[in-house]
Chains A and B, each alone.
Chain A
Amino acid sequence: MATPLLRLAGVTKRFGGVPALDALDLTVAPGEFLALLGGSGSGKSTLLRIVAGFESADAGQVLLQGRDIGALPPHRRPVSMVFQSYALFPHLSVFDNVAYGLRRDGVPKAEIARRVAEALALVGLEGLAARRPAQLSGGQRQRVALVRSLVKRPPLLLLDEPLGALDAGLRERTGFELRALQRATGAGFVMVTHDQAEALALADRVAVLETGRLAQVGPPRELYERPATRSVAAFLGAANILEGRVRADGAVECGAGCLLRPAHVAPAFALRPERIRLVAGDPPAENGIAARVRDLAFRGDGWMAVVALPNGGEWRVTLPADAAPPAPGDPVALAWAPEALAPLSA
């Protein structure tokens, strides 16, 4: 494999004795879009700030294109960052904001004018070069912040919750624009987010961070289908977690009172709501269970049912919209395919 764009090796950071990052290893390939997914306190922003140079790691290495940049101050690092608050300079026009980094590099005036104009055209802000940030909408500010970093043509762009401040309608569209921009520039993107849908939709690979450790790294589909741990499964949407006891014959007795016959044997599984079917009559003896509908919510493309299990537990089950749904209180028989059971290691 070629030299990775970014390689973190054993990066550790503590704040007042509390570890924010714990011996973390991570690589980003050139031109890759990586999402760092985690809840608050998972260390994802700290990781970004260590790469940008605003925090220094207590231990470990930060290698950019094979070069250790751990000792460089932020202004000497060839990475750029898009801040969660955008951090647009309020006293400078849009043009001067975008030109700021080029001026610091001593780029000739004419070239600055050309590159800033190009960059603004790229995100459709040609007419707004003279405005101040306060005179822009939220979406426009976000795009100014983006091109202000990209105009320097950094090999690696760090984005801290880039869509976090936008309202829902704008978020999806801007997300697509973000990915198109990433493809067009060929820069590596590392995006911090707490929104799993955003991470799955945009990134080539998703790294799930949990209290300073990497819980799992992989392509979105793999993470979704084969979460490695209970917490990754829980974080990536409403998965049902099945705890079980492995029997000598390879079957697993689940705590809810069903018998699992999985493709891969494990003591626990994630079972996605959309992988569960309603069956007529009794549930199958293996990979099936009888339950009672507790609650039902219409979701547009289907129904989300909360069902009560014989042992008192609850599962979520997605039902197609075209079929008549059962009423709350109705008994239902559930079944699933063996490969729907995603084994969990922890």
Chain B
Amino acid sequence: MRRVGLVLGLGFLWLPILLLIGYAFSADRIPFQWGGFSLRWFAALAANARMLDAAWLSLRIAAGAATLAVLLGGMTGWVLARHGPFRGRALFGLLAGAPLVLPEVVTGLSLLLLFVVLQGAAEAALGWSPDRGALTILLAHATVGLAYVAVVVQARLAGMDAALEEAAADLGAPPFTVFRTVTLPLMAPALGAGWLLAFTLSLDDVVVASFVSGPAGTTLPMLVFSQLRIGLTPEINALATMLLAVTALALLGAGLLLRGRNTPRS
């Protein structure tokens, strides 16, 4: 009974994806119609300058946002797990958790309004303000990513004996050495997983990016979304197939890394 439910559920999750992968190699102009094996849509993708530009922009934004998210989210997770009580802790926890539960449209709209206000302030003070675009998307994605990284890091540290850091101090390590030799190595898997998570979230986001972007910034999901509103093209299947291949490899690597660090090699 349990097996049946599991197989049905996984089948439901994977059927469209498997079909998508299969038909990515179909020569037919109409997506999801078999016209013989062909790599023509991968070739078309590689020649599609708009798509490539958008993809390159998205990758740079995702990498930047994920890196910022790991730095700030790592600090946030550490503060939540290890810092003693301080004034404003409740507010800090609330703010760190908010991006996880706010609907995307609310996050997008509110961040846009902030950027508009900041632009107005810059205009008034300097007579000039930067356009919205890649930078504002990066800031927005870093903020959402921060919250996810913080959760992962906090969970990892909460599972770690707090006495480890005390033991290091007791053995003569000053605070920064404690951090470098004990806390950071223990946090590392969480930071890596958090980076991947923030990267994937950024690469997949269309709603927040649509709100905070300006005329100059069209990310890959924004482009794909506008195309899907008109109609499906086989190139999108080819794109998804490549995305899946890359992320599957990255996840496999990350999984092996985490396993290697966590489980005894007995």
Task: Specify whether A and B are partners.
Answer: yes
When distances are taken between beta carbons in the complex, the residues of chain A under 8 Å from B167 are 81, 83, 87-89
Shortest beta-carbon distance, A20 to chain B, in Å?
16
When distances are taken between beta carbons in the complex, the residues of chain A under 8 Å from B175 are 73, 75
Checking A54, A90, A101, A135 against B172 with a beta-carbon cut-off of 8 angstroms, the contacting residue is: A101
In angstroms, Cα B175 to Cα A73, docked, is: 10
Closest Cβ neighbor of B166 among chain A residues: A54
B181 at interface, CB cutoff 8 A: yes
Given the interface contacts A87-B163, A89-B164, does A75 sit within 8 Å of B169 by beta carbon?
yes
Contact between A85 and B264, CB atoms less than 8 A apart? no
Contact between B264 and A152, CB atoms less than 8 A apart? no
Shortest beta-carbon distance, A135 to chain B, in Å?
5
Chain B 241-266, CB-CB to A under 8 Å as 1, else 0, gives 00000000000000000000101111
Contact between A152 and B186, CB atoms less than 8 A apart? no
B71 at interface, CB cutoff 8 A: no
Contact between B172 and A87, CB atoms less than 8 A apart? no
When distances are taken between beta carbons in the complex, the residues of chain B under 8 Å from A85 are 161, 163
Contact between A74 and B166, CB atoms less than 8 A apart? yes
In angstroms, Cα B251 to Cα A232, docked, is: 60
When distances are taken between beta carbons in the complex, the residues of chain A under 8 Å from B263 are 134
When distances are taken between beta carbons in the complex, the residues of chain A under 8 Å from B178 are 75
B201 at interface, CB cutoff 8 A: no
B173 at interface, CB cutoff 8 A: yes
When distances are taken between beta carbons in the complex, the residues of chain B under 8 Å from A135 are 264-266
Contact between A91 and B172, CB atoms less than 8 A apart? no
Within 8 A of A (CB), among B134-181: 161, 163-164, 166-175, 177-178, 181
Chain B 173-215, CB-CB to A under 8 Å as 1, else 0, gives 1110110011001100000000000000000000000000000
Checking B164, B171, B182, B266 against A149 with a beta-carbon cut-off of 8 angstroms, the contacting residue is: B171
In angstroms, Cα B177 to Cα A77, docked, is: 16
A105 at interface, CB cutoff 8 A: yes
Checking A74, A105, A134 against B170 with a beta-carbon cut-off of 8 angstroms, the contacting residue is: A74
Within 8 A of B (CB), among A68-102: 73-77, 79-81, 83-85, 87-91, 100-101
Contact between A74 and B169, CB atoms less than 8 A apart? yes
Chain A 90-134, CB-CB to B under 8 Å as 1, else 0, gives 110000000011001100000000000000000000000000101
Contact between A104 and B177, CB atoms less than 8 A apart? yes
Checking A52, A84, A91, A105 against B186 with a beta-carbon cut-off of 8 angstroms, the contacting residue is: A91
Checking B170, B172, B177, B182 against A89 with a beta-carbon cut-off of 8 angstroms, the contacting residue is: B182
A292 at interface, CB cutoff 8 A: no
Q: How many residues of A contact B (CB 8 A)?
A: 29
Shortest beta-carbon distance, A47 to chain B, in Å?
15
Contact between A83 and B171, CB atoms less than 8 A apart? no
In angstroms, Cα B167 to Cα A89, docked, is: 9
**Chain B interface extent, by class:** 20 to 34
Shortest beta-carbon distance, B153 to chain A, in Å?
16
When distances are taken between beta carbons in the complex, the residues of chain A under 8 Å from B164 are 87, 89-90
Closest Cβ neighbor of B184 among chain A residues: A91
A44 at interface, CB cutoff 8 A: no
A13 at interface, CB cutoff 8 A: no
When distances are taken between beta carbons in the complex, the residues of chain A under 8 Å from B166 are 52, 54, 74, 81, 83, 87
Given the interface contacts A90-B186, A104-B177, does A134 sit within 8 Å of B264 by beta carbon?
yes
When distances are taken between beta carbons in the complex, the residues of chain A under 8 Å from B186 are 90-91
In angstroms, Cα B181 to Cα A104, docked, is: 10
Checking A79, A89, A132, A148 against B264 with a beta-carbon cut-off of 8 angstroms, the contacting residue is: A132
Shortest beta-carbon distance, B263 to chain A, in Å?
8
In angstroms, Cα B169 to Cα A100, docked, is: 10
Shortest beta-carbon distance, B192 to chain A, in Å?
14
When distances are taken between beta carbons in the complex, the residues of chain B under 8 Å from A87 are 161, 163-164, 166-167
In angstroms, Cα B131 to Cα A144, docked, is: 60
Contact between A101 and B171, CB atoms less than 8 A apart? yes
Contact between B170 and A80, CB atoms less than 8 A apart? yes
Closest Cβ neighbor of A96 among chain B residues: B181
Within 8 A of B (CB), among A280-336: none
Closest Cβ neighbor of B261 among chain A residues: A91
Contact between A81 and B172, CB atoms less than 8 A apart? no
Q: Tell which of B167, B174, B185, B186 has the most Cβ of chain A within 10 Å.
A: B167
When distances are taken between beta carbons in the complex, the residues of chain B under 8 Å from A88 are 167
Given the interface contacts A91-B185, A135-B264, does A83 sit within 8 Å of B163 by beta carbon?
yes
Contact between A152 and B163, CB atoms less than 8 A apart? no
When distances are taken between beta carbons in the complex, the residues of chain A under 8 Å from B172 are 75-76, 101, 104-105, 152
Closest Cβ neighbor of B266 among chain A residues: A135
Shortest beta-carbon distance, A130 to chain B, in Å?
11
When distances are taken between beta carbons in the complex, the residues of chain B under 8 Å from A52 are 166, 170
Since A75-B170, A75-B177, A100-B181 are in contact, a sample of 19 more A-B pairs with Cβ atoms closer than 8 Å, ordered by chain A residue number, is: A52-B170, A53-B169, A74-B169, A75-B172, A81-B166, A83-B166, A85-B161, A87-B167, A89-B168, A89-B182, A91-B185, A91-B261, A101-B171, A101-B172, A104-B173, A105-B172, A132-B265, A134-B264, A149-B171
Can you spell out 16 A-B residue pairs with CB atoms less than 8 angstroms apart?
Answer: A75-B169, A77-B170, A79-B170, A80-B170, A81-B167, A81-B170, A83-B161, A83-B167, A87-B164, A87-B167, A89-B167, A90-B164, A90-B186, A134-B263, A135-B264, A152-B172
Task: State the 9 A-B residue pairs at the shortest beta-carbon distance, nearest first.
Answer: A101-B171, A104-B172, A87-B167, A87-B163, A134-B264, A74-B169, A83-B163, A135-B264, A75-B169
Residues of B within 8 A of A (CB): 161, 163-164, 166-175, 177-178, 181-182, 185-186, 261, 263-266
Residues of A within 8 A of B (CB): 52-54, 73-77, 79-81, 83-85, 87-91, 100-101, 104-105, 132, 134-135, 148-149, 152
